[in-house]
Amino acid sequence: MDEPLGVLVVDKPEGPTSHDVVDHIRHLYGIKRVGHAGTLDPPASGVLVMGLGKATRLLNFLQGLPKRYLGRVRLGVSTTTQDATGQTVSEERCSFTAEDLLRVAEGFVGEIAQTPPMVSAVRVEGKKLYESARRGEEVDRQPRKVRIYALEVTDIDLDKWEASIEVLCSSGTYVRTIAADIGEKLNCGAHLSSLRRTAVGSFIEAEAVTLESLSAMDEGERMAQIIDPAMAMRDFPVVEVSDELETAVRHGRALDTDVLPARGGELPMVLESRGGDIAPHQAGMTAGIPVAVVDRSGNLLAVYRRSRQGLKPATVLV
């Protein structure tokens, strides 16, 4: 059987690291080249988009897609990690109303500045923050701009001082930091007690498969779970090229503006928010909108990036 090639949507359980899941998939499919588009911390569960074989090259584009999360916030208690794995820093008496919480949450929608937590993998002076945190060091971090497309408080329990939130955000957003910042604005502190990712772009939890289910499948069933590379780029514009241009694509040559798609591309329905559809250039695609280039049969040949001059190759799969 051919080497697996494509994208796999896994429902990561609570407990293992994202790298643990990568190792598990390597073992199940008997393949070394496996990667993922966006880390989920060990306590978090949900959608983990994985690339197999040459499709690992697509992860650079997929990880920039907006993401949707469901989180549970414990108000009145701050921790060292902004989630339930850390040590308690402070406990404050809560005195806000449900209306106060809704008002504060609404203020996070839009472009905001967010300071990465010390437990993140962000690099400062070449060192990952979580490595410094393990040594007990506190590092100065510069706030980064992220975009919150929607933030809804779906449940409020003022007896337990807990609330559930649903967040649709740009890549690179820390939901734990949103929880902590909400607590700070309510003058009582808070941390994220649980987190589940329900979507990465159009990849939703309904199509995600658990590790247990994959382990119970035979080889043919497991292969059937893999999404074709062309379909894996479904959140981006698509250009179908002629046989003549296919040769140019295979050699990694730039393409002229006359082969650009008629439309700039649209992100799927799952990414709709109150503000309307989210354009791809707002989804972390700072180096130019990725464009999937396919042959006449719909097979993915390469991914190009859109520029003023036309299309320039980003990665060639054939």
User: Among all residues, which ones are annotated catalytic?
Assistant: 41
Contact 293, 248 (CB under 8 A): no
SS3 call for 91: strand
Residue 317: which residues within 8 A CB-CB, separation 6 or more? 54, 55, 57, 229, 300, 301, 302, 303
- What b/e sequence results for 139-169 when a residue is b if at least 16 CB atoms lie within 10 Å of its CB, and e otherwise? eeeeeeebbbbbbebeebeeeebbbbbebbb
Rg (CA), the chain: 21
For β-strands 45-52 and 34-36, DSSP reports them as antiparallel
Amino acid identity for residue 89 in this structure: V
- For 175, the token pair is 């939901």
Of 53, 68, 49, 34, whose CA–CA distance to 234 is shortest?
49
Contact 83, 69 (CB under 8 A): no
Distance between CA atoms of residues 125 and 136, nearest Å: 17
Distance between CA atoms of residues 39 and 33, nearest Å: 17
